[in-house]
Chain A
Amino acid sequence: MSGRVLVGVKRVIDYAVKIRVKPDNSCVVTDGVKHSMNPFCEIAVEEAVKMKEKKLIKEVVVVSCGPQQAMETIRTALAMGADRGIHVEVTGKDYENLGPLQVSKIMAALAKKEDALLVILGKQAIDDDCNQTGQMTAALLDWPQGTFASELSMEGDKIKVVREIDGGLETVKINTPAVITADLRLNTPRYATLPNIMKAKKKKIANVKPADLGVDITSRLEVLRVDEPAQRQAGVKVETVDDLIARLKEAGRI
């Protein structure tokens, strides 16, 4: 086994930014808006780097799909301790229409090409909240998956994953190679220290196109319209329970 971990990172609009919808309702405004690495992707990178520090794996390769700016996100991961990066170039309309299915095809192709032991992704992106890429990647590779991981431990050639599920915590043991998706409590991502930021400059980022990997990225989905959620209407205060019942009856609710 190569001891290589592939980590996918996505460049998204920063969590603190107020999202605005374009006047033509086609999409959200991204020009001139602050972007950063998806928080769950940060957690994924941190986990991979920690595994390398514990000598459980040998190399952390970070991947991002997108235009030129995706390189910044890769550099941030390199500054956190990843060894090298792969920038899958997707631009313009292709990038606007890029979704989990296409990204998972790319990740699957790269996982095979890089002979990866593990693919670690964030559980979901905070822009589209899809929560699909990890699962689809595993399915395409026919690999086991440990999603919503809040704890990971290597046990020989298997991995024990504690998963955060609706009812509580579920522990599963899966074979490698496998796909893991990181949940919030898996770890606390480190700050990129200034020495590592400067070192990251020298680390390599390879440039590939989806076609080079034999992946067709045409989308099967078409976004028709984007709207802001309806403005919250003002509520009404009532004095007594009887009042409440009367009002609800009036409104035809009961």
Chain B
Amino acid sequence: MALREGALRLNLLLNSRTFYKCNSSVGVRSLSDNVSSSAPSSAPEIAGDHLIYTQEHFALKESLRKIIDQEINPHVEQWEAEGIFPAHKVFKILGNAGFLGVNKPVEYGGLGLDYSYSVAMAEELGHIRCGGIPMAIGVQTDMTTPALARFGSAELKQEFLLPSIMGDKVACLGVSEVGAGSDVSSIMTKAVRKGDEYVINGGKMWTTNGTQADWICLLVNTSDGSPHRNKSLICVPMNLPGVQIARKIEKLGMWSSDTAEVFFDDVHVPCKNIIGQEGMGFTYQMLQFQEERLWAVANMLTMMENVIQETIQYTRQRKIFKRPVLHHQSVHFRLAELQTEVELLRALLHSATALYIKGNDVTKLASMAKLKGGRLAREVGDSCLQFWGGMGFTSDVLVSRFYRDSRLMSIGGGADEVMLGIICKYMDILPKK
């Protein structure tokens, strides 16, 4: 057992194609084939020259990568097949290592670091061999907790933020509804004030982590009025009477992430569970969109690069008409195009992040990056899948899972069309109502 564990530790690989000598249980590295090998998949950046990353950022990535390689990736195939991953277990491991509170206040167990560290983390999470688990982690760290950290009362932060950062409580976000996705302002879930309680009725859709969550960050209508000023964010424990997890949704991709439809039937929650001011919920939610979108891009960048690299390795050894698939110009030229666009997206991500941590509003750049990320991921998935041929169509390879998982990026977290609308607004070309 220990031998296998130790050997696993030393001989971990993302792709199982290289071979090892088994003497003295030391991982002996494999030697390259005679074809001049490509550069390593992520050229090690020199800390001094990097636009936003320092030695500490790289140390963060290295440590997180170890956790991914040892605690997450070995189980991805199983969790994808089961349609769920053990959120409490994984989040506790990440929480213990300090990765769930990177930019959260130190008083509640966070590290109080700036957003560039969150971006570094998001990039590194892209090494997880599926989209579902990074997405679930991102929901915990950057979608359910930012408003709470910024505007919640001390008592509320103690009850919900601290355990979420420690990895003891799993959070989920309740914003989208069956009838309202992109059009957030038209949600119907209502919270009516009765004494010192809110009574909540309604339902939420697309709730990532929904079947495992301990609490939900819920956006509700708390008054009748202008749709942008009548909403509030409330922390609702998921075990309250009236909270019903109606079903786990079967999806095209992101299989290891459990997505739920949740109903609220006369759920009583104390008024003190409201985050910040009543009526500010919509504004609070909008404030964190820049961070959410940059996060999604950072995550997708690494995944795209990994898929491109695996495609290179596969097509290098797979022969067609007596030479490697990679040697056909349409293949290596296309891969070069895709890698070029990945670099362009990375440049946009890093410059937006650099501006953001200095206090600038990067809504336009973040929306552009999200738009491009979703679309580029579809191109990368589609082209690389084609180059894998029949093998790409099987469930055994990363590219087919990437193809399915990445399709969500153009839809969730702000659909492409919403991004375009935002960019048009900033360009002042959106028709006035």
Contacts and interface: CB of A to CB of B under 8 A. Distances in A.
A242 interface: no
A201 interface: yes
Given A19-B30, A184-B6, A185-B2, A193 B62 contact: no
Interface string A183-214: 01100100111111110110000000000000
Contact of B55 (A20, A32, A33, A72): A72
A124 B63 contact: no
A18 B30 contact: yes
B29 A19 contact: yes
Contacts of B62: 36, 76, 192
Contact of B98 (A15, A76, A185, A193): A193
Contacts, number: 98
Contacts of B63: 79, 191-194, 197
Interface in B15-62: 18, 25-32, 34, 37, 39-40, 43-44, 55-56, 58-60, 62
Contacts of B31: 18-21, 228-229
B397 interface: no
B97 interface: yes
Interface string A72-84: 1001100100000
Given A32-B43, A184-B6, A194-B99, A15 B60 contact: no
A18 B39 CA distance: 10
A126 interface: yes
Given A15-B10, A191-B67, A126 B44 contact: no
B40 A194 contact: no
B interface SS class: loop
Given A39-B27, A129-B26, A79 B6 contact: no
Size band of the interface chain A makes with B: 35 or more
A34 B62 CA distance: 11
A35 B3 CA distance: 25
A201 B37 CA distance: 36
B246 interface: no
A36 B29 CA distance: 14
B30 A39 contact: no
A197 B30 CA distance: 31
A33 B58 CA distance: 15
B394 interface: no
Interface residues of B, number: 41
A188 B9 CA distance: 9
A196 B60 CA distance: 10
A17 B26 contact: no
A199 to B, nearest CB: 10
A10 to B, nearest CB: 14
Interface string A60-88: 00000000000010011001000000000
A16 to B, nearest CB: 6
Nearest to B21: A229
B365 interface: no
Interface string A27-58: 00000111110010000000000000000000
B392 to A, nearest CB: 23
Contact of B6 (A19, A35, A185, A191): A185
Most-contacted residue by chain B among A75, A188, A191 (CB, 10 A): A191
Contact of A33 (B18, B40, B66, B96): B40
B111 A15 contact: no
Contacts of B39: 32
B18 A185 contact: no
Contacts of B37: 18, 20
Task: Among B11, B25, B59, find the residue whose CB has the most chain A CB atoms closer than 10 A.
Answer: B59
A66 to B, nearest CB: 16
A228 B11 CA distance: 20
Given A33-B40, A126-B29, A194 B10 contact: no
14 contacts: A16-B13, A19-B30, A20-B31, A34-B44, A39-B9, A72-B58, A76-B59, A124-B26, A126-B28, A194-B102, A194-B111, A195-B98, A197-B59, A200-B59
Given A39-B27, A188-B9, 18 more contacts: A15-B10, A16-B14, A18-B37, A21-B31, A32-B39, A36-B62, A72-B58, A76-B59, A76-B62, A126-B28, A184-B10, A185-B3, A192-B59, A194-B63, A198-B56, A198-B111, A198-B113, A229-B31
